[in-house]
Amino acid sequence: MSPNSTAEQAVIDAVPTQLLINGRWRAAQRDATFAVEDPATGKAIADVADAT
């Protein structure tokens, strides 16, 4: 399978990776994150804030 096209990567890069709390984007406490994987390939496509 080929790597992400430029258009696909632009969409992935535009997705917020922080938490929306009270109308503001915020990083997770202690900057905790987890990987989001493409279920078809298992490839990590983004790291997002981990809300616990």
Is residue 37 in a domain? yes
Per residue in 41-50, pLDDT tens? Answer: 999 888 899 9
Is residue 1 in a domain? no
Angle at 18 (CA atoms; ends 17, 21), nearest 5 degrees: 145
Is residue 33 in a domain? yes
- Domain of residue 13 covers 6-49
Q: Which residues make Cβ contacts (< 8 Å) with residue 27, sequence separation at least 6?
A: 18, 19, 49
What is the pTM (predicted TM-score) of this model? 0.63
Is residue 24 in a domain? yes
Is residue 30 in a domain? yes
pLDDT at res. 1: 42
pLDDT over 80 (residue 52)? no
pLDDT at res. 13: 86
Q: Cβ distance 34 to 44 under 8 Å?
A: no
Per residue in 18-42, pLDDT tens? Answer: 999 999 999 898 889 999 999 999 9
